[in-house]
């Protein structure tokens, strides 16, 4: 069975079933925002939500992670985490699934990152397809991430009284197989699925003023464009944009020694290219002085460098960076200004 159908009245029953199989994380409302949290009460899981404050990245690429234990004398090292637990990410937007695919590419590049890949092996991804814009800041249509493009085990689509579930892996199939209230999708279900997806085509429109080929070209020609000065004048170097991004993976490595100075733990912690000292080296030389240069670097790390290296864009169109920016810097406006040769509003 490639497509299954789940009546909405049985959703909570299925969530309880998923909880019995592995640790379950899902979006949960927190004041006026949404966050991914462990599911304790299945009634709290949200399927319709604006992008969470922090992407689900925090579960497969933790903000602070133990890498190894070590002793100095005699010298010895050992993995800090030997076993990773099974977990399920539920109701993940397609833009965040695209973010996971980007991270896969980066961490599979030699030398492969064992911690990331071992966690990924233990992760099951259950996505949910947006049928309308979840956020006014989103640019997912231009990035073609508003539709499922692989990278998940199961994908839910709301067709009214039911969810259609696309089964995309053996791992996903095990979570619907032999579940009495999940049935194979019938011809009528599939007809409704086609209808809602056709309707969706009239809702999502490209947010950039031109296609991705033109975007790529604009970044090739625009290294000295005045838009970077405009952005730099507004940026407050808080790092919010990188902290909330599903594809930013810069990190620092620090050693935490015990009082004997003979043993300790090595940690990996998130870092940000927007911090003043990120590109500083010994002697105080800074290879990326100025906020305009750091902002330009961030944009190029989404729209140019990864295309050249990995043949994919590292912007997923989730809109988090625009929503989180305290200075009101908007990604779509910046990219359009770069392509159109104009100046940013309010710059």
Q: What is the pLDDT of residues 221-266, one digit of tens each?
A: 999 999 999 999 999 999 999 999 999 999 999 999 999 889 999 9
pLDDT confidence of 62, banded at 50, 70, 90?
Answer: very high
Tell whether the model's pLDDT for residue 80 goes beyond 80. no
Which pLDDT does position 344 carry in this prediction? 64
The SS3 call for residue 12 is: helix
Distances 112 to 248, 255, 259, 280, 312 between C-alpha atoms, Å: 17, 21, 33, 26, 19
Report the 10 Å Cβ neighbour count for 69.
Answer: 15
Give the neighbor-by-neighbor strand order of the sheet with 87-93. 33-38, 23-30, 87-93, 123-128, 154-158, 162-167, 3-7, 182-184
Say which residues have a Cβ less than 8 Å from residue 96's Cβ, sequence separation at least 6: 51, 55, 56, 57, 246, 316, 318
HSE (CB half, 13 Å, CA atoms) of 28? 14
Token duo for residue 278 = 């990120």
Which pLDDT does position 25 carry in this prediction? 99
CA distance 270 to 244: 11
What mean pLDDT value characterizes the chain? 95
Task: Identify the residue whose tokens are 């199961």.
Answer: 154
CA distance 84 to 116: 10
- Is residue 253 within a helix (H) or strand (E), and if so which, with residue range? strand 251-257
Q: What is the pTM of this model?
A: 0.94
The arithmetic mean of pLDDT across residues 315-336, rounded, is 98
The arithmetic mean of pLDDT across residues 305-317, rounded, is 98
pLDDT digits (tens, 9 = 90+) for 178-197: 999 999 999 999 999 999 99
pLDDT confidence of 284, banded at 50, 70, 90?
Answer: confident
Which pLDDT does position 341 carry in this prediction? 76
Which pLDDT does position 248 carry in this prediction? 98
CA distance 25 to 39: 6
Tell whether the model's pLDDT for residue 218 goes beyond 70. yes
* Euclidean distance between the first and the last CA atom of the chain, given in angstroms as a whole number: 54
Spans of all domains in the chain: 3-201, 212-340
How does DSSP classify residue 44?
Answer: G
Report the 10 Å Cβ neighbour count for 174.
Answer: 14
Say which residues have a Cβ less than 8 Å from residue 261's Cβ, sequence separation at least 6: 72
Tell whether the model's pLDDT for residue 82 goes beyond 80. no
CA distance 307 to 216: 8
Which pLDDT does position 310 carry in this prediction? 97
């Amino acid at each position: 069975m490639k497509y299954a159908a789940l009546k909405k009245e049985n959703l909570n029953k299925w969530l309880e079933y998923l909880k019995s199989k592995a640790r379950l994380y899902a979006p949960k409302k927190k004041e006026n925002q949404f966050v991914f949290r462990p599911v304790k009460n299945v009634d709290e899981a949200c399927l319709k939500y604006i992008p969470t404050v922090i992407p689900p990245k925090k579960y497969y690429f933790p903000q602070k992670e133990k890498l190894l234990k070590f002793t100095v004398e005699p010298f010895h090292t050992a993995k800090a985490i030997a076993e990773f637990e099974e977990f399920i990410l539920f109701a993940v937007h397609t833009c965040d699934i695209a973010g996971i695919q980007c991270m896969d590419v980066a961490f599979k590049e030699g030398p492969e990152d064992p911690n990331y890949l071992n966690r990924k092996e233990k992760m099951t991804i259950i996505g949910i397809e947006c049928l309308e814009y979840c956020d006014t800041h989103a640019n997912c249509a231009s990035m073609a991430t508003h539709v499922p493009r692989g990278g998940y085990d199961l994908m839910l689509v709301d067709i009214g009284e039911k969810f259609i579930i696309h089964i995309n892996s053996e791992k996903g199939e095990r979570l619907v197989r032999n579940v009495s209230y999940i049935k194979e999708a019938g011809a009528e279900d599939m007809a409704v699925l086609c209808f809602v997806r056709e309707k969706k085509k009239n809702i999502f429109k490209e947010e950039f003023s031109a296609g991705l080929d033109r975007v790529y070209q604009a970044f090739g020609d625009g290294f000295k464009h005045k838009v970077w000065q405009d952005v730099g004048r507004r940026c407050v170097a808080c790092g919010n944009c990188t902290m909330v991004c599903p594809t930013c993976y810069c990190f620092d490595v620090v050693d935490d020694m015990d009082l004997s100075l003979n043993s300790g733990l090595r940690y990996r912690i998130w870092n940000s290219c927007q911090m003043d000292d990120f590109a500083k080296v010994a002697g105080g030389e800074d290879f990326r002085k100025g906020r305009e240069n750091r902002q330009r670097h961030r944009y190029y790390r989404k729209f140019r460098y990864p295309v050249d290296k990995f043949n994919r864009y590292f912007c997923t169109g989730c809109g988090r960076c625009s929503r989180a920016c305290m200075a009101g810097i908007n990604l779509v406006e910046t990219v359009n200004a770069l392509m159109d040769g104009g100046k940013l509003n309010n710059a």
